[in-house]
Amino acid sequence: MLNLFGNRFPSKKPDQLGSGPLRFRVAPDVTASLHSEGVVFLHTLRGKVFSANRIGAMIWNGAAERWSLDRVAESIGREFHVGAPTARRDAAEFLAQLAAEGLVVPDAS
């Protein structure tokens, strides 16, 4: 299972994310800084800092822009020449990790 947080955090199984246009949004108490090697985010309420690599940054950016999971996966697939099913599965797993840490929340709108 993909863990873009590195070895510091245990991998978590993704929730049922569905195959439709499920969207995420950044949790209101989280700020992020994108850079060339990835992203660093701060959960201000909990006082925790997290980081992820370039793929994690793309997924994070997709959540911040309220893209669908399919759109995030398509972006990863194009950039890194990964098949759509693999990119979608990995993006879903990382979004589940972000959600478990309280960094993103499902967006019902």
Which pLDDT belongs to residue 106?
81
Residue range 37-64, pLDDT digits in tens: 999 999 999 999 999 999 999 998 888 8
| 78 vs 2 pLDDT, higher one | 78
Residue range 22-35, pLDDT digits in tens: 567 889 999 999 99
| 10 vs 87 pLDDT, higher one | 87
Specify whether the CB–CB gap between 38 and 54 falls below 8 A.
yes
Under 8 Å CB-to-CB from 102, ≥6 apart: which residues?
27, 30, 43, 46
Q: Which domains does the chain have, with CATH numbers?
A: 23-107 (3.90.930.60)
Under 8 Å CB-to-CB from 88, ≥6 apart: which residues?
69, 70, 73
